[in-house]
A and B are shown apart, each in its own frame.
Chain A
Amino acid sequence: MREQDIDIVIVGGGGAGLRAAIAAAESARKEHRQQRIMLLSKVYPMRSHTVSAEGGAAAVTSEEDSLQAHFDDTVAGGDWLAEQGVVDYFIRHAHRELVQMERWGCPWSRKPDGSVQVRRFGGMKTARTWFAADKTGFHMLHTLFQTSLKYPEIERLDEYFVLDIAVVAGAVAGVIALEIATGELILLRAKSVILATGGAGRLFRFNTNAGIVTGDGMAMAFRHGVALRDMEFVQYHPTGLPGSGVLITEACRGEGGILVNKDGYRYLQDYGLGPETLLGHPQNKYMELGPRDKLSQAFWQEQQSGRTGKFGDSDVVYLDLRHLGKEYLHERLPFICELANVFINVDPVKEPIPIRPAVHYTMGGIETDAHCETRIKGLYAAGECASVGLHGANRLGSNSLSELLVFGRLAGEEASQRAATVTFADSTALKEQAQAQKIRIAKLYDAEGEENWVELKRELVLTMETGCGIYREVAGMQTTLDMIRDLQTRYRNIRLQDKSRAYNTELMQCLELGYGLDIAEATCLGALERKESRGAHKRLEEDLQQRDDVNYLKHSQVFFNAEGPAQLRWQDVDTHLSAPAERAYGDAGKGIKQ
């Protein structure tokens, strides 16, 4: 097995991973440290799912805005389950990071005077979302990737699938990865490891996510004893295209798009988001500019009441942009026009876009402290895979692109600093762990079981959708949890059709499914045990439809258990800056401090 000594290993080449790599390189330069930085990704960095983000990145920008307002919006948006010290750090550093992106060349949309333009987004008190038309994630990712090429000290292993982290005496010691092109394993001994592996939206059948968003990194940390925190909070984005789930950005509504049911009625006014705002005059925190959890829940209610339309087999409502006019749409939302056209043959200039909610974002993730470090020393996590505690029970749109910059940078700096102070772990213990991975892969190749990954994956994504959807109840979740555990058993009896070594994409998908089953268990267990409704976690049982701060103003922490079912514990939430209060939007939110 090939071996290399690397000071800082970064797993994942999306926004958080690239930002971390650049930060580590800059830290090392500043302190005159010679450090090797290696970025591994199962795809080329510019294929990472950050590329699909559309709407924008939030930071307090205009004179009328305030840090306090961004803080309050984020904390209330997360239904008081965010770590408030972390939110405070975030809102103070977001603007600086967006400016840094600008200095690296990101083509932010501009005002006529050449300053940066901001747009409205859901759940935000005022317009503070920077954007690059409706391809913000694409431009951010390419800017970061291209900028990373400036740093010869950032090395890359593209299309390397990380199998596991190595841990020695409670500290991270390296990673073991599989070179996809050859099937060979490589052991990287490391002083710091940053996981930036993205979310787990692919656990659900209908989602906006790329095929690679399978939560591998979460499962690796989980199996080594790090808690997966707040996993029950799964964000349904209210506007995905029927059939494919392709994302139609919230910026459509920020720019003034409206949502109507099959009768042409703006139904959001019936769900605590009204009164109806004037067409062409979107108002922050009203109607279509409510938060994502509320909007997706409103869709579900309309669907139950038979007021949704049909597009193919899908129940849909309609996103109407026509009043914005062709010129404006083509300037602000060109990608949306293209996507609607290509995928469902609808021209948003002329027709409303049929849409429905789709799983979009994993609020929970790998538990870290406020400095992005996990309970394993030297193991950091940043971006969607992490639960640093920013989003609580519901993420506000445009906070995650800023998050991956703010916390990607922090993780990179911390990792560099740590690498300067520790030595590599003894390689005997490391080699044992690498050997275990080698055996695991060999076993997968040799297994002559009856199960195949396609069938198991289909059952998993279907049961997750059924049991852990927009609304949840105990029987459905219990059935799903039982099913996940059954699938875990069946997974041990899996068989590969493809026995080749080079580019064995079936092997990748098998491995991803194995990781996914662990994360699914954590998600469902958290959902089952959280006997209240908060943010994106909405219970149907009559006595559980309200938030219950007495018993559940707590993070869920799920721990892996090699001997049996995963274990759940509760952890206090940092609310030292803003005591839990009523969360309300529309006129109901008037006068409430949020």
Chain B
Amino acid sequence: MTTKRLSIQRYLPEQGNNTPYWQDFDIPFDDSTSVLDALNYVKEELDGSLSYRWSCRMAICGSCGVMVNNTPKLGCQSFLRDYEGPVKIAPLAHFPVEKDLIIDMGLFLDHLAAVQPYLINDSRLINDSEEGTETFKQTPAQMEKYKQFAGCINCGLCYSACPQFGLNPEFLGPAALTLAHRYNLDSRDQGKKQRMPQMNREEGVWSCTFVGFCSEVCPKNVDPAAAVNQGKVESAKDMLIGIFKG
């Protein structure tokens, strides 16, 4: 079996080593070997101290985001066969690094929660006694409006791609703004008014300079750039209405 050289960025502050450094490993690989497989090989065969996150290995849980040759990728669906020469693996850019490839997701989750990402309406909870439980009606066309934006797996790759988030971590960022937009577009939702103040903030949609790299790296084709820019239109309208209303 042929091998591929993997350079992995290590960071072990607990051991008193406060500077990240690169460590090389040679990995046997074939056509099916993913970056995640390679990391698991390192952990199981070469160095048990390497730390990284992973779980589903089928590109749906969003755990295994890393920089592969400086581009944000899901480790499980990036394959060594697709890279010429050595492959550099580093933690996702723009996030604080905790250890090796593990980043601090705390702020990302705060941003998600900040946009109230749930249906807001006056429908009641269904009780035991309730008869004739019915769903809302929502036509395929109504669902189509938000469906793409509901596909986000919270992997954080778009934050690594976003220069604005890199400059200012208070920026809500592509995923959170997309989620807000997803609920705003949902025909069953009445919560747009509550969400708009977050969108209108300096750290809301207006921090985006439309680089569009977020949509390029999105592993699920959610197109956060489109959501954020549609969000800008909504925000402009909302603020104008605010002005007229005084």
Contacts and interface: CB of A to CB of B under 8 A. Distances in A.
Nearest to B104: A181
Interface in A107-122: 107-108, 110-116
Contacts of A498: 48-49
Contacts of A138: 60, 153
Contacts of A475: none
Contacts of B59: 338-339, 342
Q: Is the interface of B mostly helix, strand, loop or mixed?
A: loop
Contacts of A246: 57-58
B118 A52 contact: no
Contact of B139 (A95, A110, A212): A110
Contacts of A243: 32
A150 interface: yes
B140 A503 contact: no
Interface stretch (B130-138, B166-174, B197-205, B210-218): B130-138
Interface string B127-166: 0001001111111101100110011011000000000000
A105 B125 contact: no
Contacts of B142: 114
A503 B102 contact: yes
B57 A113 contact: no
Contact of A99 (B15, B100, B133): B133
A421 B145 CA distance: 47
B82 to A, nearest CB: 11
A198 B83 CA distance: 36
Contacts of B45: 454
B54 interface: yes
Contacts of B54: 211
Given A99-B134, A114-B138, A502 B14 contact: yes
B239 interface: no
A95 B153 CA distance: 27
Contact of A149 (B99, B118, B186): B118
Nearest to B114: A149
A51 B60 contact: yes
A345 B153 CA distance: 23
Contacts of A104: 118-119
A246 B126 CA distance: 36
Nearest to B102: A503
B12 A146 contact: no
A500 B118 CA distance: 39
B61 A52 contact: yes
Contact of A116 (B13, B44, B58, B135): B135
Interface in B108-131: 109, 112-113, 116-119, 123, 125-126, 130
A96 B129 CA distance: 11
A23 B226 CA distance: 36
Given A43-B63, A51-B61, A116-B135, A502 B119 contact: no
A47 to B, nearest CB: 5
Interface string A129-170: 000000100110010001101100000001000000000000
B233 interface: no
A497 interface: yes
Contact of A211 (B57, B102, B105): B57
Nearest to B119: A105
Nearest to A149: B113
B102 to A, nearest CB: 5
Contacts of A344: 32
A47 B119 contact: no
B48 A146 contact: no
Looking at A49, A96, A105, A111, the one whose CB has the most chain B CB atoms below 10 A away is: A105
Nearest to B79: A342
A281 interface: no
Given A110-B139, A247-B58, A497 B49 contact: yes
A49 B54 CA distance: 12
Contacts of A110: 138-140, 143
A133 B63 CA distance: 22
A46 B118 contact: no
Given A339-B58, A454-B44, A503-B98, A103 B139 contact: no
A506 B99 CA distance: 14
A244 interface: yes
Given A342-B59, A503-B98, A103 B123 contact: yes
A328 interface: no
A312 B31 CA distance: 11
Nearest to A42: B55
Interface string B45-89: 101110111111111111100000000000001000000000000
B95 interface: no
B51 A505 contact: yes
Nearest to B108: A44
A181 B53 CA distance: 12
Interface in B218-246: none
Given A103-B188, A505-B52, 16 more contacts: A48-B61, A95-B133, A99-B133, A103-B119, A104-B119, A108-B135, A114-B137, A114-B138, A246-B57, A342-B59, A342-B77, A454-B44, A497-B49, A500-B49, A503-B98, A503-B99
Interface of B: 12-15, 31-32, 43-45, 47-49, 51-63, 77, 98-100, 102, 105, 109, 112-113, 116-119, 123, 125-126, 130, 133-140, 142-143, 146-147, 150-151, 153-154, 179, 183, 186, 188-189
